[in-house]
Structure 1
């Protein structure tokens, strides 16, 4: 039996919001193996043009991602929820190894199993080159502070 990963479906607005923040917090650790544990062992992903199945492929993907996307900081926001599904919009800032900064915008559709693990993740993402002066996410690497504005407050 898999350990539960609360909050569990069916989601209310509050439990969906907490699930989104937990995902944001995990991704901001940039620990691929920790993040992969939030997904079912056979989780199916679409991320841009990549299709992944299972925790091992997810961890490998995230390892590659965070080797390329340096100084990664992510903000997620609940868009909608229904039963065992959550829709999220997000933005993250990162730089490449040449020092070019980007803000990546996207939407995700999530579906969870009964113990709160994500079984499906579909992500659409666009990258916008920005200058260092245009950056909006300035907290130290790791969890976004509770008092840092979210996407709506930042006008994103």
Structure 2
């Protein structure tokens, strides 16, 4: 549960515009690769399923993200709104990364999100597949951090 002092606009119920704003905010946070910053977007008791791993609570989310970004190097992510209704948003995404041996991957997935009244995510269910790729096939080249506003979307890239 979140407290009244914690809030993360926009708040549900979502319009198409506010849902897209929420998706971009999440993308920006994840592209920061700052586990503590990202964890603040979730309720203190948030429940996740990420692939086959179940995570509950901010501390566990922060630990999960720390492990993730120690493994997934040069991580760059694009999220795209798929659908929304009330306090729920569905997202599709792709991200590129390499391991410590220099093997490149593009990971594709879908997420279902549920928010509390303060705009904090209380549930996140993610299905993700990793596709090995050649470094020459990369499509995400912006400097680490926030994706530039003029960078193509997943749809624009044919992903």
Judge same fold: TM > 0.5, yes or no. Answer: yes
Q: After TM superposition, list the pairs within 5 Å mapping 1:6-155 onto structure 2.
A: 6-155=9-158
Give the structure-1-normalised TM-score.
0.99
Measure how far apart 1:112 and its partner are: 0.1
- In angstroms, what is the RMSD of aligned CA positions? 0.4
Partners of 1:108 and 1:137 lie apart in 2 by 20
Partners of 1:57 and 1:5 lie apart in 2 by 20
Partners of 2:52 and 2:35 lie apart in 1 by 19
Measure how far apart 1:3 and its partner are: 2.5
Q: Which runs of 5+ in 1 are unaligned?
A: none
Measure how far apart 1:4 and its partner are: 1.9
SS in structure 1 of the partner of residue 153 of structure 2: coil
Measured against aligned partners, the alpha-carbon deviations of 1:43-87 in whole angstroms (never above 9, x if no partner) come to 000000100000000000000000000000000000000000000
Measure how far apart 1:104 and its partner are: 0.0
Measured against aligned partners, the alpha-carbon deviations of 1:19-42 in whole angstroms (never above 9, x if no partner) come to 000000000000000000000000
- The count of aligned residue pairs is 156
